[in-house]
Structure 1
Amino acid sequence: MSELPASPLVSLRDIVKTYHRGQQTVPVLGGITFDIDAGEFLALMGPSGSGKSTLLNLIAGIDRPDSGQLVIGGVDIGVLDEAELADWRAQNVGFIFQFYNLMPVLSALENVELPLLLKDMTRRERRERALLALEMVGLADRAEHAPSELSGGQQQRVAIARALITDPTLIVADEPTGDLDRESANDILHLMQRLNDEIGKTIVMVTHDSRAAGHAHAIMHLEKGELSGREEVRV
């Protein structure tokens, strides 16, 4: 596994983001400043429209702020051009989505392999690495199954294996248990907590579920684009 950089891993300073709807300007984030330490598991919570998903997308390099500075692992991602940002994202960020985003025509193994296709690796190397990632999430025995042959919880485990396959610096999760029943959700949350505790993966998770947020080290609360508090959950 890659060596973790010195804390903080993520540093946000005066992050401002607005969206434009026709002639209307809609403020989303109004001067957000905080840090995330390497190895931290942080949950972002807030009502709909509070800006938490926008904030997650900025941290992941999917979107750009209107102003402010965002430094991750010592890299000021705001100064990167689009090609450089895409390359940085591919190397440093693993994504977990609510609806899995798996390719239905590919097997679990092939879905996990996808992020490695642009890397200078042989097919055998990609397969071995993907099998190891599936083993880490307890699905090595389902490697050849299509997504339609897997439960929702199993599909999310495949998505987590895919997020891990490049050994990213940061994992971002947008409502990762939102489409799961309670038992499957608990399994996924315990898996994410184990990846954080045992491997030291830094995780930022958006969730509406206070029980899900309870698996994090801390909960950052947002209200109308502003930080309304930080709650420490577990050491």
Structure 2
Amino acid sequence: MIPVLEGISFDIVAGEFLALMGPSGSGKSTLLNLIAGIDKPDSGIIAVNGVDITTLSESDLAAWRAANVGFIFQFYNLIPVLTAFENVELPLLLTGLSRKKRKEHVETVLSLVSLSDRMDHYPSELSGGQQQRVAIARAMVADPPILVADEPTGDLDRVSAAEILGLMSRLVEDFGKTIIMVTHDPKSAEKAGRIVHLEKGELVSSSFSHQ
């Protein structure tokens, strides 16, 4: 068996905006999935706030993800037949929150991403940048401390990409979120506070950006 990642060891500070870079096949998305508790490593530990998540059972890991991690994807992963409001509300449906509380949470995060006037719109009625803002609101609605983003600007034009990166920076600066972002784009990576480069499954450099 050929290892996808090998000998990787580094720390991420709470409230940090970290970019993972590297060529295709370097292990970026695999590392992101490990950090988010989607995959488990064959060896080693992944400690988050003192908890080694590699030791958790599948049910405990699912509960940990729901409480601690929000996901942002390149292609938004919105459900076409649901409105922006309904897409954002989805993560709250199993939390036991009342309908009134869910409405408050959804309206708050949609306001945060400047989409209060688009709540009742379907994904097909929104631009790419607006759809990604809905996706960020969905990732934020349960107030997780960690956001993981896999190529969040990869399907956007430059203007929309800049808006999304600005929003993500604000989530770190104003709300103390920890963001780990995979990107191929050096300009996007420069918006992060630190850039980690992977090659062939190994960490080859870690440097602070000059934003």
TM-score normalised over the length of structure 2: 0.98
Structure 1 equivalent of residue 197 of structure 2: 221
* Residue from 131, 140, 148 that aligns with 1:155: 131
Code of the aligned partner of 1:82? E
Shift of 1:124: 1.5
Structure 1 residue ranges, 4+ long, deviating more than 3 angstroms after superposition = none
Structure 2 equivalent of residue 177 of structure 1: 153
* 2:13 paired with 1:44: no
Shift of 1:234: 4.5
Shift of 1:27: 1.7
Shift of 1:26: 2.6
* 2:90 paired with 1:114: yes
Alpha-carbon distance in 2 for matches of 1:73, 1:104: 36
* 2:71 paired with 1:123: no
Higher strand share: 1
* Residue from 11, 21, 33 that aligns with 2:9: 33
Q: Give the conservation status (yes or no) of the 8 Å contact 1:31–1:68.
A: no
Structure 2 equivalent of residue 144 of structure 1: 120
Q: Give the conservation status (yes or no) of the 8 Å contact 1:113–1:130.
A: yes
Q: Of the two structures, which has the highest relative contact order with CA contacts closer than 8 Å and spacing of 6 or more?
A: 2
Structure 1 equivalent of residue 206 of structure 2: 230
Code of the aligned partner of 1:107? T
How much identity, in percent, do the aligned residues show?
A: 66
* 2:211 paired with 1:196: no
Aligned length, in residue pairs: 211
Q: Give the conservation status (yes or no) of the 8 Å contact 1:41–1:203.
A: yes
Alpha-carbon distance in 1 for matches of 2:122, 2:161: 21
Q: Give the conservation status (yes or no) of the 8 Å contact 1:216–1:234.
A: no
Task: Give CA-to-partner distance per residue, 1:163-215, whole Å, 9 cap, x none.
Answer: 00111011000000000111111110011011111111100000000000010
Code of the aligned partner of 1:186? A
Alpha-carbon distance in 2 for matches of 1:129, 1:58: 28
Alpha-carbon distance in 2 for matches of 1:224, 1:150: 38
* 2:29 paired with 1:53: yes
Alpha-carbon distance in 1 for matches of 2:100, 2:86: 12
Structure 2 equivalent of residue 164 of structure 1: 140
Gaps of 5+ in 2: none
Alpha-carbon distance in 2 for matches of 1:43, 1:192: 12
Structure 1 equivalent of residue 53 of structure 2: 77
TM-score normalised over the length of structure 1: 0.88
Task: Give CA-to-partner distance per residue, 1:53-111, whole Å, 9 cap, x none.
Answer: 00000000010001000011221101111000001001100000000000111100010
